[in-house]
């Protein structure tokens, strides 16, 4: 279904996608979003961790956060997620670009109040960041839950935009003696480093070990499969 004009991709529309599979796939490959909103005529864009469940995003923040207070008033929010995959290096300065995957989502939010519902939302966020970690650690205390806020953001409409492939130069520039191509920029997980105060005999957590074994120090392809 084609979105309204606020979510429609206008610049290079052939790179746009509006299907749930594409949008959800990009959202599931990341865990940091930027949340945009306007209050008293002043725009703000705040980075935050998030988790996805169907067409709902859970946005993490402090109970004292401006984003949490304003988001609960029903004002429109814009949530963006971007993954940078490569630098695209052309023969001319003008045609340089990046390969990327991005989502722009619009909707409104509500502040989660109940302790049980908030805990489920925080678990969703934790699983988005590092699958399996929630079950390895102490759950939040009542005091910690009160200090933490979660916005439930309902996606009303969204669009994805993706660029892949090599540079597209002007035809007359292909003969220039200039190197052109792509420089992949995978997210690389390095070897886990133990906390200096870690108790004796405690090995690397299963969630961390699985992440590390999948990426093998080479990148994150397949990390969240």
pLDDT tens column, 146-184? 999 999 999 999 999 999 999 999 999 999 999 999 999
The reply to whether 4 falls in a domain is: no
Exposure string over 164-178, b if 16+ CB within 10 A, otherwise e: eeebebeeeeeeeee
Based on the structure, what is the number of domains in the chain? Answer: 2
Question: Which tens digits make up the pLDDT trace of 17-27?
Answer: 999 999 999 99
Query: From CA 12, how far away is CA 201, in angstroms rounded?
Result: 55
Q: Which domain holds residue 109?
A: 13-185
- The total number of residues shown for the chain amounts to 225
- The label of the residue with tokens 């597209």 reads 168
| Predicted structure pTM score | 0.89
In the numeric block, which tokens belong to residue 171? Answer: 């035809």
The reply to whether 108 falls in a domain is: yes
Q: Are residues 147 and 173 in the same domain?
A: yes
For 185, residues 6+ apart whose C-beta sits below 8 A from its C-beta are: 84, 85, 86, 87
Q: Are residues 79 and 131 in the same domain?
A: yes
Question: Which tens digits make up the pLDDT trace of 40-71?
Answer: 999 999 999 999 999 999 999 998 899 999 99
Question: Which tens digits make up the pLDDT trace of 116-150?
Answer: 999 999 999 999 999 999 999 999 999 999 999 99
Q: Are residues 106 and 209 in the same domain?
A: no
Q: Are residues 175 and 217 in the same domain?
A: no
The reply to whether 6 falls in a domain is: no
């Amino acid at each position: 279904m084609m979105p309204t004009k606020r979510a429609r991709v206008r610049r290079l529309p052939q790179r746009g996608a509006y299907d749930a599979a594409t949008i959800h796939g990009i959202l599931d490959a990341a865990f940091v979003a930027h949340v945009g909103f306007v209050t008293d005529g002043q725009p703000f864009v705040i980075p935050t961790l998030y988790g996805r469940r169907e067409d709902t995003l859970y946005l993490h923040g402090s109970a004292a956060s401006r984003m949490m207070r304003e988001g609960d008033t029903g004002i429109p929010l814009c949530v963006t997620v971007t993954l940078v995959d490569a630098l695209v290096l052309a023969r001319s300065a003008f045609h340089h670009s990046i390969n990327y995957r991005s989502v722009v989502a619009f909707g409104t939010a509500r502040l989660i109040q109940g302790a049980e519902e908030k805990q489920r939302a925080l678990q969703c966020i934790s699983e988005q960041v590092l699958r399996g970690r929630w079950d390895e650690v102490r759950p939040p205390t009542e005091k910690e839950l009160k200090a933490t806020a979660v916005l439930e953001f309902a996606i009303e409409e969204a669009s994805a935009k993706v660029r892949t492939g090599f540079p597209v130069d002007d035809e007359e520039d292909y003969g220039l003696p200039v190197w052109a191509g792509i420089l992949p920029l995978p997210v690389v997980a390095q070897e886990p480093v133990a906390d200096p105060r870690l108790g004796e005999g405690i090995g690397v957590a299963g969630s961390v070990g699985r992440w590390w074994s999948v990426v093998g120090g080479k990148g994150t392809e397949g990390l969240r499969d």
